[in-house]
């Protein structure tokens, strides 16, 4: 069984503050993928990043960075110097390796709503 927990329901920060969104996952698979998506008020889910279970290197993309730690089953997302445009709901997701039919179940967390106040 797969499970993704985003314990932070809502976070408010003042513009230019750093903020970390937590994601903890559970899976029995040895091969799996982790994702982060952003959902702005327009409603579309925007893919941000994918990591596979064999790659624990942290990644930085501009003001975004991701910290993957298998030892704690966590895949946290940090926004540095937050901006108003970062206001959105952020979803963490987990996918297994795929069954024999090719279906990969993707389990989404319940999302964290981030509000960046000017």
Chain residues that interact with another protein, rule: CB under 8 A: 33, 35, 37, 39, 42-47, 50, 52, 89, 91, 93, 95, 98, 101-104, 106, 108, 110-111, 113
- Closest of 8, 10, 9, 15 to residue 116, by C-alpha: 15
Q: How far is the CB of 92 from another protein (least distance, A)?
A: 12
DSSP 64-84: EEEEEEGGGTEEEEEESS--G
The total of other beta-carbon atoms located within 10 Å of residue 90's CB is 24
Nearer to another protein, 79 or 90 (CB): 90
Q: How far is the CB of 15 from another protein (least distance, A)?
A: 21
DSSP 44-59: --EEEEEEETT----E
Q: How far is the CB of 54 from another protein (least distance, A)?
A: 13
Nearer to another protein, 71 or 100 (CB): 100
**What are the phi and psi torsion angles at 104 (to 5°)?**
-115, 110
Q: How far is the CB of 95 from another protein (least distance, A)?
A: 4
């Amino acid at each position: 069984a797969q499970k993704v927990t985003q314990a932070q329901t809502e976070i408010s920060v003042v513009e230019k503050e750093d903020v970390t969104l937590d994601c903890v996952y559970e899976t029995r698979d040895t091969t799996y993928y982790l994702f982060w998506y952003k959902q702005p008020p327009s409603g579309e889910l925007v893919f941000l990043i994918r990591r596979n279970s064999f790659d624990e290197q942290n990644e930085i993309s501009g003001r975004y960075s991701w910290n993957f730690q298998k030892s704690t089953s966590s895949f946290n997302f940090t926004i540095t110097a937050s901006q108003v445009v970062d206001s959105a709901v952020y979803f963490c997701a987990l996918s297994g390796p795929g069954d024999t039919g090719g279906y990969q179940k993707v389990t989404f967390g319940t999302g964290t709503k981030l509000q960046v106040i000017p």
